[in-house]
């Protein structure tokens, strides 16, 4: 018989199935915030009349889609 609390055992088993989940979520939030801030700065530069390369804008829009999507898929499915 195990002397470990059932709640602790459940938590530890969950952590072994998805290690570093908290760290991953923090990184997805940080990367998403950075992508949206970068997009906002690019839009302000475009509004002021500065020429921007189109591929830079596409990369920024891609980051604004990919990182929140990764955060969504990394959510708890309980």
Q: 3-state SS of 4-41? A: CCHHHHHHHHHHHHCCCHHHHHHHHHHHHHHHHHHHHH
Q: What is the pLDDT of residue 20?
A: 87
Indicate the length of the chain as a whole number: 78
From the CB of residue 28, how many other CB atoms can be counted at a distance below 10 Å?
A: 19
One digit per residue, the tens of pLDDT, for the chain of length 78 reads 568 888 888 888 888 887 888 899 999 999 999 999 999 999 999 999 989 899 999 999 999 999 999 999 988 776
Q: In this predicted structure, what is the pLDDT of residue 35?
A: 96
Contact 27, 69 (CB under 8 A): no
Residue 1 has a pLDDT of 53
Q: What pTM was computed for the model?
A: 0.76
């Amino acid at each position: 018989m195990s002397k470990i609390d059932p709640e602790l055992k459940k938590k530890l088993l969950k952590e072994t199935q998805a290690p570093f989940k908290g760290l991953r979520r923090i990184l997805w939030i940080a990367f998403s915030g950075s992508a949206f801030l970068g997009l906002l700065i690019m839009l302000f530069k475009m509004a002021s009349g500065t020429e921007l390369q189109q591929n830079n804008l596409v990369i920024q829009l891609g980051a604004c889609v990919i990182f929140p999507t990764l955060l969504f898929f990394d959510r708890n499915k309980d």
